[in-house]
Chains A and B, each alone.
Chain A
Amino acid sequence: MNTPHDHESATDVGPGDALRRAIDALPAERSLPADAFAQLQQAMTAEARSGAAVPPLVRSRPNRLTVSLAMLSVAALLAIVLATSLSRSRSDAADEAVAVAGTRTRAAAVTDDAASALLPEERTDPRVRAVLDETRNWRAASSDSVRSVRWPLQARAAIEASLAATETALASVRRAVREDPDDAVARDAIAVLRAKQLVLLQRAMTLLDEI
């Protein structure tokens, strides 16, 4: 592999004396980041626990960068959907809520408290139940130190921020529905937001399972 004096040398004038000397003076080694080995051990432990039955090299595991990008792109997608849905709801309150949510760097927890604010028809909607169940699964998985050891903090924060933004937006749209039960646009917005929230959670869980 390392064949600096191969046949190409005849036609390759090389880097020049000064640059060559500077290259030769480059250190061959670099000090490692202080926690590099500890992080590697954590990752190895997590993988050993989660993938004991899966032969090494067979699984396709996205690296931290890939996961981070995927998470951020999902979060960005949701943010776009939120903005679109809410503009259709014509609710000033919702717009304000999204603006506030968008400035938050760390999301408020989405808990079963959300269920207490549900509209009557939402309480019996299986899609809402699925979202709440998936939210609980996500919380349990993402707070599991072993399972989420390689989960990039930035990606987790992006997901949490999107979930919180969705909940805030939903609360605002629900207010609009309570004020005007015939507001069909607001009701549609709720359905769209719930569907997108479910997609986000399912993708997050899938990616979390893959790393």
Chain B
Amino acid sequence: MTTSPSASVSSPDDADRERALVALAQQGDDGAFGALYRRHAPRVFALLTRLAGDDALAADLLQETFLQAWRGLPHWRGESALATWLHRIAVNAHLGALRAQRRRDARETAEEELEKLAGIAAPSGEPGTRIDLERAIAALPPRMRTAFVLRDVEGYSYDEIALITDNAAGTIRAQVSRARLLLSRELER
């Protein structure tokens, strides 16, 4: 599902309409901002749910993302697609929460999380049945999940992920590789 965030705008007419909504929202039109929210929030929420691995946390981050967008919109110059801008705000909001969690939750160990992953069975119970990939992704350790989602779901490069997560590219590669291995094993169960 590696998709461009700008996929929310599907045609030139749609792009014109979005530009008009953005212009209105930049003037303080809350109705226009609401329309932009309805257009983009479901995609942003899917991203945040996948990154956070938790619906309630994702809902908080969604609100944070659109609050930041609302604050920043008057100054936004439209140099990228709105969806790309929102995508970046959302990823940054998630990474901020992840850093905060890392500071307060030093006890997290990959082993504990992997045990959770090992406990995920195919919903139907039949061998070889497709697993609930969303649940399996959610069970990955947070940093591994972030690296995997950004790389294999969202299509970021390793260098980009390393830069925004403040990690070495080699570390990101190792995390993504490990996540692929674990998820592939789950697919084969």
Contact = CB atoms under 8 A, between A and B. Distances in A.
B173 to A, nearest CB: 8
A24 B67 CA distance: 30
Contacts of B60: 63-65
Interface stretch (A25-33, A78-86, A130-138, A178-186): A25-33
A23 interface: yes
A23 B42 contact: no
B67 A56 contact: no
A32 B42 contact: yes
A18 B66 contact: no
Contact of B63 (A14, A26, A36): A36
A168 to B, nearest CB: 29
Given A1-B87, A36-B62, A29 B46 contact: yes
Nearest to B48: A30
Given A8-B158, A27-B46, A32-B45, A22 B133 contact: yes
B187 A26 contact: no
Contacts of B19: none
Interface residues of A, number: 39
B63 A39 contact: yes
Contacts of A44: 30, 67, 70
B40 to A, nearest CB: 10
Interface string A1-20: 11110101000101110110
Contacts of A3: 155-157
A16 B184 contact: yes
B3 A29 contact: no
A56 B43 contact: no
Contacts of A30: 42, 45-46, 49
B32 interface: no
A28 B43 contact: yes
A210 to B, nearest CB: 14
A99 interface: no
A111 interface: no
Nearest to B6: A2
Given A37-B37, A39-B63, A43-B67, A23 B152 contact: yes
B46 A40 contact: no
A27 B3 CA distance: 11
B100 A69 contact: yes
Interface in B56-84: 57, 59-60, 62-64, 66-67, 70-72, 74-75, 84
A47 interface: yes
Contacts of A2: 2-5, 154-156
Interface of B: 1-5, 7, 30, 34, 37-38, 41-43, 45-46, 49-50, 55, 57, 59-60, 62-64, 66-67, 70-72, 74-75, 84, 87-88, 93, 96-97, 100, 104, 130-131, 133-134, 152-160, 173, 180, 183-184, 187-188
19 contacts: A1-B5, A1-B88, A12-B173, A15-B152, A15-B183, A22-B183, A23-B153, A25-B1, A26-B133, A27-B1, A28-B3, A29-B45, A32-B42, A32-B62, A36-B63, A40-B37, A56-B74, A63-B60, A64-B60
